Amino acid sequence: MILFPAIDIKEGRCVRLIEGRMESATVYSHDPAGIARTWQEQGAEFIHVVDLDGAFAGQPRNRQAIADIVRAVQVPVQVGGGIRDVETIDELLTLGVNRVILGSAAVLQPALVAEACRRYGQRVLVGIDARDGLVAIQGWGKTVQKTALELALEVKELGIERIVFTDIRRDGRLSGPNLAATGRLAKDSGLQVIASGGVSSLADIRALKDLEADGVEGAVLGKALYTGAVKLPEALAIARGERGLC
């Protein structure tokens, strides 16, 4: 299982939100690239970046910070937030981003998802964010009458093989991931799922590791890392199945 330390960027700074509310932002660093280097030094194999301003604006707002992160590390970086056209995908991949995550576009612009899959294959993921089972878009500000599974099956038909699934109610609350919903989504959709939202302890990592057979291939770690509730090297050892920690 792959663990993805998260770097959420707001106005060029590394922050964490609660349930995606911008007014709840806690600033952890003014140097997102430095944070990325720290996670790499602690063993991270992949970095997960979200342009929060971009998610609300509908286009990336923190390009410089993203470029700085990509230059600062040797591990691959995946980026989401406000990616709603092919030109933006091209720009991010040219910057050195390894994978892009389409969010609202999966609901609003399915043709873009299909075209992106045709051009870039597995370098394109879809982020499915759900509040009480229903998909939320546009910075989580709008809920649509579509379930996470319905959207997952739709994007699968468009060529998507991998999704990032976030239970918004768990995000930033250190309340534990929604294991049941995550495992069920992976199993019922047949997609590879990266779990996001709520990871709070090594026990949560173990529980997600147990869902690997259902298609849960990774987990995003956010607030738990920044508060010290989870130490990345220990979490990575569990994710890799190393003896003595599983």
What is d(CA 96, CA 124) in angstroms, rounded to the nearest whole number? 14
Residues sharing a CB contact under 8 Å with residue 195, sequence separation 6 or more, in sequence order: 165, 177, 182, 208, 211, 216, 218, 219, 220
Q: Which phi-psi region, left, alpha or beta, contains residue 186 (left: φ > 0; alpha: ψ -120 to 50)?
A: alpha
- Residues acting as catalytic residues: 8, 129
Residue 59 DSSP code: S
Amino acid identity for residue 98 in this structure: N
What is d(CA 186, CA 213) in angstroms, rounded to the nearest whole number? 9
Q: Are strands 124-131 and 134-137 parallel, antiparallel or unpaired?
A: antiparallel
What is d(CA 244, CA 125) in angstroms, rounded to the nearest whole number? 33
User: What does residue 46 show for φ and ψ, rounded to 5 degrees?
Assistant: -160, 145
Query: CA angle at residue 46 from 200 to 104, to 5 degrees?
Result: 80
In order, the DSSP letters of 186-235 are HHHH-SEEEEES---SHHHHHHHHTTGGGTEEEEEE-HHHHHTSS-HHHH
